[in-house]
Amino acid sequence: MQFLTRLPVRRSLDVSPAALGRSALWYPAVGALLGALLCATAALAAPLGAGVAAVLVLVVWVLVTGALHLDGLADTADAFVGGGPDRARIHAILKDPRCGPMGVVAIGLLLLVKHALLAALLARGASAALLLAPLVARTALLGWLIALPPARPDGLAAAVSAALPRRRGRLLVFVLLLVLLCSDTPGQVAGLVGLAGAWFWGRHQRARLGGCTGDTLGAGCELLEAAVLLAIFVALAQ
């Protein structure tokens, strides 16, 4: 909760590497809580119309997460575009705290896409998508940490990955995926898209960097959330 959100919890500046690794098992639970907050926001804002409700949901989404993953998306867009095939240059750009033009464009486009999809889904009464998107994306975060090596030995991903209980993590990801695939249409769609998207982005991270970083994990979380929203909208529109 302390790492993935800005919700008021008891904060400790002295977090051991082992505790940091174990906490990754709770990423899906944090995603479910975030989804529940988004559903509650949508319900409260429903009288204002789907368009306004979508804006308010998106604002809550960004504020509660502290734009943590949007920052990763911006850095990743700058690095993957500006770094070209040079892996060392990609890493150098990822470490640069400044946001370049591609990062700004990536954030703007993603927020536009999310708003359009949220408005369309809320107009259809498909608020379940608001619960599923954060849950699937943060389950994918756990999956990437299990499956991919850290791209930098001194990065955040390396610190979490080193102490992550992998056997329990694999079991948790498998159970959650099975539950989604055995649920209704939105859940099945979210599970399938989450599985495909996680595999694609994991392969891309390995190809470009040899593994994952905190920034590329955040970027994948944002992209997968948008992909789940889009897939559920398409499925319901049939």
Nearest-angstrom CA–CA distance, 55 and 61: 10
pTM: 0.94
Which pLDDT score, from 0 to 100, does residue 13 have? 61
* 7: DSSP letter: S
What mean pLDDT is predicted for residues 189-193? Answer: 96
Nearest-angstrom CA–CA distance, 126 and 134: 15
Give the residue carrying structure tokens 């789940």. Answer: 228
pLDDT tens digits, residue range 91-132?
899 888 888 899 999 999 999 999 999 999 999 998 899 999
pLDDT of 219 higher than 90? yes
pLDDT of 14 higher than 70? no
What mean pLDDT is predicted for residues 84-96? Answer: 88
Which pLDDT score, from 0 to 100, does residue 17 have? 75
What is the residue extent of each domain of the chain?
Answer: 17-237
The one-letter code for the residue type at 112 is: L
Helices (H) and strands (E) in the chain, counts: 11, 0
> At 19, is the pLDDT very low, low, confident or very high (cuts 50, 70, 90)?
confident
- How many residues in total does the chain contain? 238
Under a CB-based contact definition with an 8 Å cutoff, are residues 213 and 155 in contact? yes
The string of DSSP codes covering 113-132 is: HHHHHHHHHHHTT-THHHHH
Q: What are the backbone angles phi and psi of residue 135, rounded to the nearest 5°?
A: -65, -50
| Short-list 142, 130, 134, CA closest to 212 | 142
The string of DSSP codes covering 158-196 is: HHHHHT--HHHHHHHHHHHHHHHHTS-HHHHHHHHHHHH
Give the residue carrying structure tokens 């926001």. Answer: 41
